[in-house]
Amino acid sequence: SSKEQGRNRYQWFTSSMDDMVIEKVNIETSIRKCLANDEFILHYQPKINLETGATYGVEALIRMPSYENGLIPPSSFIPLAEETGLIVSIGKWVLDTACKQNKAWQDKGFAPLRISVNISARQFLQEDIVEQVRQTLNDSGLEPKWLELELTESIIMRDLEDTAEKLQQLKKMGITISIDDFGTGFSSLSYLKNSPVDILKIDQSFLKCIDENDDTNEAIVRAIISLGQSLQMNVIAEGVETEGQLRFLKAEQCNSAQGYLFGVPCDAQAFGEFLKSKKQWFEFK
């Protein structure tokens, strides 16, 4: 009967809500456990200069290990970490670990790279974020010019005055600032004109179908590259997977690129091997 169906639907609905709550509690428990036991992992992905073919940078990307499900991607726990405030502790751990790892690679004699760290909204809203970054650099011994912070448009556009002040201070220290997922948010172009932002990171969604002659995406990518040129900012494309995309980006004079074509994110040891093997030099035809 329809009454029964209604009840079933209702039961189905409540039990699914329960599942979601349980799932959230599980993730939160895992996050706390990983923080307490120092079990989070960073993976590293190279960034390539499209003029020289050299690896000039590396992005740190967090992973959460779990017994049942292997490495959990950030999309499955960063939103909850933001909601609960745990992102503040995670963020400190990421910044600290990335800076120390980068310094360790430099101390091993590898050509110095700029390491980039993703900063979330709640993390950047902390009053002492600039001081935290300064302290972390001091503790690790890494020079500020080898650190880049990746922020999204929504973070940068949120509280313009407060943000601008923080960005200016970070910039004065010698840190590089980039806008991640550029083109998916609501950047004010008049704000960008006078902002301390150094780099626009074209969102990977715009790279899709570029090698299949997707006119709209091609136009967007071209527009972002030329915006960067006008604002005297460098432009990097993320999510580059094919030779066709690479050819397009080189023809359009995009400064740099990142994606599976050059290297999938891997752990610190594997990335060290990559640097040792000289595979970090790419030759373009």
| Among 97, 118, 176, 187, contact with Mg ion (rule: CB under 5 A) | 118
List binders of ligand C2E among 15-74 (CB under 6 A). 45, 61-62, 73-74
Can you state the angle between helices 87-107 and 2-36, rounded to 10 degrees? 40
Residue type, 237: A
Residue among 206, 230, 236 nearest 49 (CA): 236
Q: Is the dihedral of CA 243, 233, 275, 136 positive or negative?
A: negative
**Helices and strands, counts by H and E, the chain:** 11, 9
For the chain, the distance separating the N- and C-terminal CA atoms, rounded to the nearest angstrom, is 68
Report if residue 259 touches ligand C2E, rule: CB under 6 A.
yes
Binding mask 134-173 for Mg ion (x = CB under 5 A): ----------------x-----------------------
Report if residue 120 touches ligand C2E, rule: CB under 6 A.
yes
Closest residue to ligand C2E, based on beta-carbon distance: 259
- Report whether 62 contacts 74 (CB < 8 A): yes
| Between 61 and 249, CB nearer to ligand C2E | 61
| Among 102, 118, 178, 280, contact with ligand C2E (rule: CB under 6 A) | 118
Report if residue 176 touches ligand C2E, rule: CB under 6 A.
no
Q: Which residues are CB-neighbours of 216 under 8 A, at least 6 positions away?
A: none
Residues that bind Mg ion (CB under 5 A): 118, 150, 180-181
Residues that bind ligand C2E (CB under 6 A): 45, 61-62, 73-75, 78, 94, 118, 120, 150, 180-181, 204, 238-241, 259-260, 265
